[in-house]
Chain A
Amino acid sequence: MFGIILVKSQVVSWFRIQEMFHLQSFHMYGVIGSAIIVGIVSIQVIKRFQIKTINREAITIPDKKFHWGNVYGGLIFGVGWAITGACPGPLLAQVGSGFLVISITLLSAIAGTWVYGLIREKLPH
Protein backbone atom coordinates (compact mmCIF):
# COMPACT_ATOMS: atom_id res chain seq x y z
CA MET A 1 0.00 0.00 0.00
CA PHE A 2 2.69 2.42 1.01
CA GLY A 3 4.52 1.84 -2.27
CA ILE A 4 1.36 2.57 -4.21
CA ILE A 5 0.87 5.86 -2.38
CA LEU A 6 4.48 6.85 -2.98
CA VAL A 7 4.20 6.28 -6.71
CA LYS A 8 0.73 7.75 -7.12
CA SER A 9 1.69 10.93 -5.33
CA GLN A 10 4.80 11.25 -7.50
CA VAL A 11 7.04 11.78 -4.50
CA VAL A 12 9.22 9.09 -6.08
CA SER A 13 9.94 11.43 -8.95
CA TRP A 14 13.41 12.86 -9.30
CA PHE A 15 11.83 15.87 -10.98
CA ARG A 16 9.53 16.52 -8.04
CA ILE A 17 12.50 16.60 -5.69
CA GLN A 18 14.34 19.14 -7.85
CA GLU A 19 11.19 21.22 -8.04
CA MET A 20 10.92 21.14 -4.25
CA PHE A 21 14.49 22.25 -3.64
CA HIS A 22 14.06 25.11 -6.11
CA LEU A 23 10.87 26.18 -4.33
CA GLN A 24 8.96 25.93 -7.59
CA SER A 25 6.14 23.78 -6.37
CA PHE A 26 4.09 23.29 -3.27
CA HIS A 27 3.45 19.62 -4.04
CA MET A 28 6.19 17.99 -1.95
CA TYR A 29 5.72 20.41 0.93
CA GLY A 30 2.01 19.68 0.85
CA VAL A 31 2.57 15.92 0.92
CA ILE A 32 5.14 15.94 3.73
CA GLY A 33 3.40 18.71 5.69
CA SER A 34 -0.03 17.10 5.64
CA ALA A 35 1.52 13.70 6.46
CA ILE A 36 3.12 15.24 9.54
CA ILE A 37 -0.11 16.95 10.63
CA VAL A 38 -2.06 13.70 10.32
CA GLY A 39 0.76 11.94 12.19
CA ILE A 40 0.74 14.46 15.05
CA VAL A 41 -3.03 14.31 15.42
CA SER A 42 -3.15 10.52 15.36
CA ILE A 43 -0.39 10.15 17.95
CA GLN A 44 -2.18 12.64 20.21
CA VAL A 45 -5.39 10.66 19.81
CA ILE A 46 -3.55 7.40 20.60
CA LYS A 47 -2.08 8.97 23.73
CA ARG A 48 -5.27 10.68 24.89
CA PHE A 49 -7.44 7.60 24.59
CA GLN A 50 -4.61 5.19 25.43
CA ILE A 51 -5.39 3.14 22.38
CA LYS A 52 -3.82 -0.33 22.49
CA THR A 53 -2.37 -2.39 19.67
CA ILE A 54 -4.49 -5.15 18.19
CA ASN A 55 -2.60 -7.52 20.50
CA ARG A 56 -3.68 -5.39 23.47
CA GLU A 57 -0.21 -4.10 24.18
CA ALA A 58 0.35 -0.52 25.30
CA ILE A 59 1.75 1.57 22.46
CA THR A 60 5.24 2.83 23.13
CA ILE A 61 7.24 5.30 21.10
CA PRO A 62 10.94 5.33 21.99
CA ASP A 63 12.44 8.80 22.49
CA LYS A 64 15.09 9.92 20.08
CA LYS A 65 18.13 11.41 21.79
CA PHE A 66 19.89 14.28 20.14
CA HIS A 67 23.40 13.67 18.88
CA TRP A 68 25.50 15.64 16.42
CA GLY A 69 25.02 12.87 13.88
CA ASN A 70 21.50 14.30 13.44
CA VAL A 71 23.20 17.38 12.03
CA TYR A 72 26.19 15.96 10.12
CA GLY A 73 24.37 12.90 8.89
CA GLY A 74 21.34 15.01 8.09
CA LEU A 75 23.37 17.28 5.84
CA ILE A 76 24.99 14.31 4.09
CA PHE A 77 21.63 12.65 3.61
CA GLY A 78 20.20 15.89 2.23
CA VAL A 79 22.91 16.05 -0.41
CA GLY A 80 22.28 12.44 -1.40
CA TRP A 81 18.53 13.06 -1.46
CA ALA A 82 18.88 15.93 -3.90
CA ILE A 83 21.29 14.04 -6.17
CA THR A 84 19.47 10.73 -6.39
CA GLY A 85 16.10 12.43 -6.10
CA ALA A 86 15.00 9.81 -3.61
CA CYS A 87 15.15 8.77 0.00
CA PRO A 88 15.15 5.08 0.95
CA GLY A 89 11.39 4.50 0.52
CA PRO A 90 11.15 5.98 -2.96
CA LEU A 91 14.34 4.15 -3.98
CA LEU A 92 12.53 0.89 -3.30
CA ALA A 93 9.43 2.09 -5.12
CA GLN A 94 11.49 3.14 -8.15
CA VAL A 95 12.99 -0.33 -8.39
CA GLY A 96 9.47 -1.72 -8.32
CA SER A 97 8.43 0.76 -10.99
CA GLY A 98 10.89 -0.87 -13.34
CA PHE A 99 13.91 1.40 -13.02
CA LEU A 100 16.25 -1.48 -12.39
CA VAL A 101 19.33 0.71 -12.46
CA ILE A 102 18.13 2.18 -9.17
CA SER A 103 18.90 -1.18 -7.57
CA ILE A 104 22.52 -0.08 -7.95
CA THR A 105 21.70 3.10 -6.01
CA LEU A 106 20.05 0.91 -3.41
CA LEU A 107 23.08 -1.39 -3.13
CA SER A 108 25.23 1.69 -2.83
CA ALA A 109 23.01 2.97 -0.03
CA ILE A 110 23.40 -0.37 1.75
CA ALA A 111 27.16 -0.02 1.30
CA GLY A 112 26.94 3.49 2.76
CA THR A 113 25.13 2.19 5.81
CA TRP A 114 27.70 -0.58 6.16
CA VAL A 115 30.60 1.85 6.02
CA TYR A 116 28.87 3.98 8.65
CA GLY A 117 28.70 0.92 10.89
CA LEU A 118 32.36 0.24 10.23
CA ILE A 119 33.67 3.70 11.16
CA ARG A 120 30.93 4.65 13.62
CA GLU A 121 33.19 4.81 16.68
CA LYS A 122 35.49 7.31 14.97
CA LEU A 123 32.77 9.75 13.93
CA PRO A 124 31.68 12.72 16.05
CA HIS A 125 28.20 12.21 17.50
Chain B
Amino acid sequence: MDVITQPWPWYIAGPLIGLTVPVLLILGNKTFGISSVLRHTCAACIPANIKFFRYDWKKETWNLFFALGIILGGFVATYALSVPGPVDINPQTVSLLQQYGVKDFSGVLPQDIFNFGQLFTLRGFALIVVGGFLVGFGTRYAGGCTSGHAIMGISSLQWPSLVATCCFMIGGFIASWYLLPFLLQL
Protein backbone atom coordinates (compact mmCIF):
# COMPACT_ATOMS: atom_id res chain seq x y z
CA MET B 1 0.00 0.00 0.00
CA ASP B 2 2.90 2.31 0.69
CA VAL B 3 3.75 2.35 -2.98
CA ILE B 4 0.28 3.70 -3.73
CA THR B 5 -0.06 6.25 -0.96
CA GLN B 6 3.36 7.80 -1.37
CA PRO B 7 3.84 10.40 -4.13
CA TRP B 8 5.03 8.76 -7.31
CA PRO B 9 8.49 9.52 -8.69
CA TRP B 10 8.77 11.09 -12.13
CA TYR B 11 10.00 7.91 -13.82
CA ILE B 12 6.71 6.21 -12.93
CA ALA B 13 4.31 9.10 -13.49
CA GLY B 14 5.87 10.47 -16.69
CA PRO B 15 5.73 7.21 -18.67
CA LEU B 16 2.15 6.63 -17.45
CA ILE B 17 1.16 10.07 -18.75
CA GLY B 18 2.98 9.26 -21.99
CA LEU B 19 0.98 6.06 -22.34
CA THR B 20 -2.22 8.10 -22.42
CA VAL B 21 -1.24 9.02 -25.99
CA PRO B 22 -1.40 5.50 -27.51
CA VAL B 23 -4.29 4.47 -25.26
CA LEU B 24 -6.51 7.27 -26.58
CA LEU B 25 -5.41 6.62 -30.16
CA ILE B 26 -6.11 2.91 -29.95
CA LEU B 27 -9.36 3.19 -27.98
CA GLY B 28 -10.98 5.82 -30.11
CA ASN B 29 -8.61 7.44 -32.59
CA LYS B 30 -8.48 10.48 -30.31
CA THR B 31 -5.54 12.83 -30.02
CA PHE B 32 -4.64 13.65 -26.46
CA GLY B 33 -5.42 17.22 -25.44
CA ILE B 34 -7.22 18.70 -22.49
CA SER B 35 -7.62 22.38 -23.27
CA SER B 36 -10.16 21.64 -26.03
CA VAL B 37 -12.58 20.87 -23.26
CA LEU B 38 -12.70 24.59 -22.50
CA ARG B 39 -13.69 25.27 -26.08
CA HIS B 40 -16.33 22.54 -26.07
CA THR B 41 -17.77 23.96 -22.87
CA CYS B 42 -18.07 27.35 -24.57
CA ALA B 43 -19.64 25.75 -27.63
CA ALA B 44 -22.09 23.79 -25.53
CA CYS B 45 -23.09 26.48 -23.05
CA ILE B 46 -22.44 29.95 -24.45
CA PRO B 47 -21.85 29.78 -28.22
CA ALA B 48 -23.38 33.26 -28.68
CA ASN B 49 -23.33 32.79 -32.43
CA ILE B 50 -19.54 33.10 -32.54
CA LYS B 51 -18.15 31.25 -35.56
CA PHE B 52 -15.35 29.69 -33.54
CA PHE B 53 -17.91 27.95 -31.34
CA ARG B 54 -20.32 26.82 -34.04
CA TYR B 55 -19.43 23.20 -34.61
CA ASP B 56 -20.78 19.87 -33.55
CA TRP B 57 -19.37 19.69 -30.04
CA LYS B 58 -21.46 16.58 -29.35
CA LYS B 59 -18.95 14.62 -31.44
CA GLU B 60 -16.32 15.58 -28.89
CA THR B 61 -18.14 14.50 -25.76
CA TRP B 62 -15.37 11.99 -24.99
CA ASN B 63 -13.27 15.05 -24.15
CA LEU B 64 -15.86 16.23 -21.63
CA PHE B 65 -15.96 12.78 -20.06
CA PHE B 66 -12.18 12.79 -19.93
CA ALA B 67 -12.36 16.10 -18.04
CA LEU B 68 -14.92 14.72 -15.60
CA GLY B 69 -12.66 11.73 -15.16
CA ILE B 70 -9.78 13.99 -14.19
CA ILE B 71 -11.91 15.70 -11.54
CA LEU B 72 -13.04 12.34 -10.21
CA GLY B 73 -9.48 10.99 -10.35
CA GLY B 74 -8.26 14.01 -8.43
CA PHE B 75 -10.84 13.31 -5.78
CA VAL B 76 -10.02 9.61 -5.48
CA ALA B 77 -6.28 10.18 -5.48
CA THR B 78 -6.51 12.81 -2.77
CA TYR B 79 -9.03 11.24 -0.44
CA ALA B 80 -8.47 7.54 -0.91
CA LEU B 81 -4.91 7.05 -2.08
CA SER B 82 -2.82 9.66 -0.35
CA VAL B 83 -1.22 10.43 2.93
CA PRO B 84 -1.84 14.15 3.41
CA GLY B 85 1.19 16.30 3.82
CA PRO B 86 3.30 18.98 2.23
CA VAL B 87 4.81 18.51 -1.20
CA ASP B 88 8.47 17.66 -0.84
CA ILE B 89 9.92 20.59 -2.72
CA ASN B 90 13.40 22.01 -2.81
CA PRO B 91 14.16 24.03 0.39
CA GLN B 92 15.57 26.77 -1.84
CA THR B 93 12.19 27.16 -3.51
CA VAL B 94 10.54 27.25 -0.09
CA SER B 95 12.76 30.04 1.21
CA LEU B 96 12.38 31.97 -2.01
CA LEU B 97 8.60 31.77 -1.85
CA GLN B 98 8.66 32.68 1.84
CA GLN B 99 10.47 35.86 0.91
CA TYR B 100 7.61 36.62 -1.45
CA GLY B 101 5.14 36.21 1.39
CA VAL B 102 3.84 32.66 0.88
CA LYS B 103 3.14 31.17 4.30
CA ASP B 104 1.23 27.97 3.77
CA PHE B 105 3.23 25.00 2.48
CA SER B 106 0.98 22.26 3.80
CA GLY B 107 -0.91 21.29 0.66
CA VAL B 108 -0.51 21.12 -3.10
CA LEU B 109 -1.04 24.85 -3.36
CA PRO B 110 -0.66 27.76 -0.95
CA GLN B 111 -4.03 27.93 0.74
CA ASP B 112 -3.31 31.31 2.25
CA ILE B 113 -3.56 32.67 -1.29
CA PHE B 114 -5.90 30.31 -3.06
CA ASN B 115 -9.11 30.57 -1.03
CA PHE B 116 -12.48 32.22 -1.46
CA GLY B 117 -11.69 35.01 0.99
CA GLN B 118 -8.66 36.05 -1.05
CA LEU B 119 -10.73 36.28 -4.19
CA PHE B 120 -11.67 39.83 -3.36
CA THR B 121 -8.14 41.02 -2.71
CA LEU B 122 -5.98 42.31 -5.52
CA ARG B 123 -3.48 39.51 -5.07
CA GLY B 124 -6.09 36.78 -5.01
CA PHE B 125 -7.91 38.24 -7.98
CA ALA B 126 -4.70 38.47 -10.02
CA LEU B 127 -3.62 34.93 -9.24
CA ILE B 128 -6.96 33.16 -9.36
CA VAL B 129 -9.05 35.06 -11.87
CA VAL B 130 -6.55 36.81 -14.15
CA GLY B 131 -4.26 33.79 -14.11
CA GLY B 132 -7.11 31.54 -15.15
CA PHE B 133 -8.14 33.89 -17.91
CA LEU B 134 -4.60 33.91 -19.32
CA VAL B 135 -4.51 30.13 -19.25
CA GLY B 136 -7.79 29.86 -21.16
CA PHE B 137 -7.05 32.61 -23.64
CA GLY B 138 -3.44 31.65 -24.24
CA THR B 139 -4.05 27.96 -24.64
CA ARG B 140 -6.70 28.45 -27.32
CA TYR B 141 -4.64 31.10 -29.11
CA ALA B 142 -1.67 28.73 -29.07
CA GLY B 143 -3.86 25.88 -30.27
CA GLY B 144 -3.28 23.63 -27.30
CA CYS B 145 -1.86 23.27 -23.82
CA THR B 146 0.80 21.21 -22.14
CA SER B 147 -0.96 17.98 -23.04
CA GLY B 148 -1.94 18.82 -26.62
CA HIS B 149 1.30 20.50 -27.64
CA ALA B 150 4.09 19.41 -25.32
CA ILE B 151 3.05 15.79 -24.98
CA MET B 152 0.81 14.87 -27.93
CA GLY B 153 2.32 17.35 -30.40
CA ILE B 154 5.98 16.65 -29.75
CA SER B 155 5.27 12.90 -29.51
CA SER B 156 3.95 13.02 -33.05
CA LEU B 157 7.00 15.09 -34.08
CA GLN B 158 5.16 18.27 -35.03
CA TRP B 159 7.48 21.25 -34.98
CA PRO B 160 4.75 23.89 -34.33
CA SER B 161 4.13 22.10 -31.04
CA LEU B 162 7.80 22.35 -30.16
CA VAL B 163 7.66 26.09 -30.87
CA ALA B 164 4.55 26.45 -28.72
CA THR B 165 6.10 24.44 -25.89
CA CYS B 166 9.23 26.60 -25.91
CA CYS B 167 6.99 29.66 -25.72
CA PHE B 168 5.07 28.13 -22.78
CA MET B 169 8.38 27.77 -20.98
CA ILE B 170 9.60 31.26 -21.86
CA GLY B 171 6.32 32.80 -20.69
CA GLY B 172 6.49 30.73 -17.53
CA PHE B 173 10.06 31.68 -16.73
CA ILE B 174 9.35 35.36 -17.22
CA ALA B 175 6.22 35.19 -15.08
CA SER B 176 7.68 33.24 -12.20
CA TRP B 177 10.92 35.23 -12.03
CA TYR B 178 9.62 38.73 -12.59
CA LEU B 179 5.83 38.88 -12.43
CA LEU B 180 4.99 36.51 -9.58
CA PRO B 181 7.22 38.14 -6.93
CA PHE B 182 5.38 41.37 -7.69
CA LEU B 183 1.92 39.80 -7.66
CA LEU B 184 2.52 37.89 -4.43
CA GLN B 185 3.40 41.07 -2.64
CA LEU B 186 0.31 42.99 -3.75
Bound-complex Cα distance A95 to B69 (A)? 12
Instruction: Give A74-110 as 1s and 0s: 1 = Cβ < 8 Å from B's Cβ atoms.
Output: 1111111111111111011111111111101111111
Collect the chain B residues with CB atoms within 8 Å of residue A31's CB.
10, 13-14, 17
What distance in Å separates the Cβ of B60 from its nearest Cβ neighbour in chain A? 13
Q: Please, how many residues of chain A have a CB less than 8 angstroms from a CB on the other chain?
A: 107
Most buried by B among A13, A46, A64, A77: A77
Across the interface, name the chain A residue whose C-beta is closest to B183: A83
The answer to whether B172 has its CB under 8 Å from any CB of chain A is yes
Q: Is the CB of A73 within 8 A of B116?
A: no
B78/A59 in contact, CB under 8 A? no
> Which residues on the A side are within 8 Å of B41 (C-beta)?
110, 113
CB atoms of A10 and B142 under 8 A apart: no
Would A3 and B73 count as touching, CB distance under 8 A? yes
Shortest CB–CB separation between residue A6 and chain B, in angstroms?
A: 7
Contact check, B138 vs A77: say whether CB atoms are below 8 A apart.
yes
Q: Mark B22-41, 1 if CB is under 8 A from A, else 0.
A: 10011111010011011101
Quote the shortest CB–CB distance from A124 to chain B (angstroms).
Answer: 10
Top 10 closest A-B pairs, CB basis?
Answer: A3-B73, A78-B171, A96-B74, A73-B141, A112-B136, A74-B167, A38-B18, A39-B155, A9-B13, A77-B138
Interface residues of B, Cβ cutoff 8 Å to A: 7-22, 25-29, 31, 34-35, 37-39, 41-42, 46, 48, 50-53, 66-67, 69-79, 81-82, 87, 89-90, 92-93, 96-97, 105, 107-111, 114-116, 118-119, 126-147, 149-161, 163-177, 179-180, 183
Interface residues of A (CB under 8 A from B): 1-22, 24-40, 42-43, 45-46, 51, 53-55, 57, 59-67, 69-89, 91-102, 104-118, 120, 123
